Amino acid sequence: MLHRKRSLQLAKGPMIKSALLLAAALTPGIALAQTAPSGAPIAPTFDVTAARARIDAGFDKNYPHLEALYQDIHAHPELGFQENRTAAILASEMRKLGFTVTEHVGKTGIVAIYRNGEGRTMLIRTELDALPMEEKTGLPYASHAQQTSDGRLTYVDHSCGHDIHMAWWVGTAEALLAMKDQWHGTLMFIGQPSEETVSGAKAMLADGLFTRWPKPDYGFAAHVGPDPTGTVSVKEGTLTSASDQIDITFHGRGAHGAMPDKSIDPIVMGAHFVSDVQSVISRAKAPGTFGVVTVGAFQAGTVDNIIPDHADLKLTLRSHDDDTRKLLIDGVTRTAVAVAEMAGAPAPTIDHPAGASAVQNDIGLADRAAGVLEAAFGKDVSFVPAFMPGGSASEDFSEFVNAGVPSVYFGIGGDDPTMLAQYKAQGKPVPVNHSPYFAPVPEPSIKRGVETLTLAVLMVAGTASK
């Protein structure tokens, strides 16, 4: 998941919240877009303080094991759809706890089920994958692992923090099993492969996630980010952006650089396209609606005196709603086709290898979760109402939401507040997710994740919360 920092930063503390509300009121685009109803945190219907005390007591006892698990996974990261060792370790952990585990769901995914009487089914999801990059944190348990990505050997690093997520996922399972008297229903803990390519959730669904097992009534997940440890953000409504990768090849006719009349120049086509496609953003999309089209790669040609026969472009598209998402994809396609036609070239090849829609947090469920978490953690919780825009990051957790599972996806702070203050004092940017220096502090991050996810399950399945 990319650039969570912005969305998490949007959600810090009451002072910043009120400043943001003011900014929203002063920004007509945002104000006009406020059609979704926005609620407020709803007071919990169970004893959150007592529940948290039980969660914490168990966590403190189990932590040495969770830390060892975290460090092992951190030191042995695996790329998307190659998470064989990681999945096997998590499967073994969950079997030891008494879950019934099925492996190889959506290639390397796992599904762990625990039934505790009649009741609802709760999905709790972690990602399994790491990123193709070299770790530079200098941690004693830093990764030196390498794997093959796109046919090339690369270092692998858990620089998005999915290793923290796996530890809190196991910790949440431990907490819920230790508190079986406090809830009933079915736990569906899933380890999802390949989130970073936004394709693992689709793979699990295509492999029968909601047909071979019951479709969950509620879903929960969380992401660690570069905010102070202890903080939790709860966003109503749109949380992330939709992400679409579009690959375009313009087919021209190669010729000598001195004989352009013998060519159809794909570089000229590509250049027209790069500039014209921004009209989709500036002229076709409503000004107050979020949407981005970025051409991130443009490759063509080899030397000065050859006009090549093709140009390859790779784009990322971001949006917050389905209508805008379609508008961007249609606009990009139309522009590419028109540019080729204008040049008298064959139609371009347009591929859409990956995409995911925005994660929509269920408003009612987010309001309830915010109330529970505020009762547990007080001012460390930031509640971000639906009318505030979501972040520009993307996440394929949206696949589960769109399959009909009302969900809340939380943000959990992972950085040492003293370190953050030092960075601020020195005017240096803080390492964010996907930075080779991103290094969340394990114990408080994992603990807050366990508390948050466990309280969320107790909220919807608790015997005391009817």
Of the pair 319, 433, the CB lying nearest Zn ion is at 433
Of the pair 131, 281, the CB lying nearest Zn ion is at 131
Q: Quote the least distance from Cβ 128 to Zn ion, whole Å.
A: 11
Q: Quote the least distance from Cβ 165 to Zn ion, whole Å.
A: 8
Cβ neighbours for 209, distance < 8 A, ≥ 6 positions apart: 105, 106, 111, 190
Of the pair 433, 454, the CB lying nearest Zn ion is at 433
Of the pair 160, 307, the CB lying nearest Zn ion is at 160
Binding site for Zn ion (CB under 5 A): 1, 160
Q: Quote the least distance from Cβ 223 to Zn ion, whole Å.
A: 6
Q: Are 422 and 46 in contact (CB under 8 A)?
A: no
Q: Quote the least distance from Cβ 129 to Zn ion, whole Å.
A: 9
Cβ neighbours for 444, distance < 8 A, ≥ 6 positions apart: 229, 230
Distance CA 398, CA 375 (A): 28
Q: Which one, of 65, 355, 408, lies nearest residue 198 by Cα?
A: 355
Q: Quote the least distance from Cβ 225 to Zn ion, whole Å.
A: 9
Q: Quote the least distance from Cβ 131 to Zn ion, whole Å.
A: 7
Q: Quote the least distance from Cβ 224 to Zn ion, whole Å.
A: 8
Q: Quote the least distance from Cβ 240 to Zn ion, whole Å.
A: 11
Measure the CA dihedral 85/175/372/48, to 10°. -170
10 Å Cβ neighbour count for 60?
Answer: 11
Of the pair 1, 457, the CB lying nearest Zn ion is at 1
Of the pair 6, 115, the CB lying nearest Zn ion is at 6
Of the pair 182, 361, the CB lying nearest Zn ion is at 361
Of the pair 224, 293, the CB lying nearest Zn ion is at 224
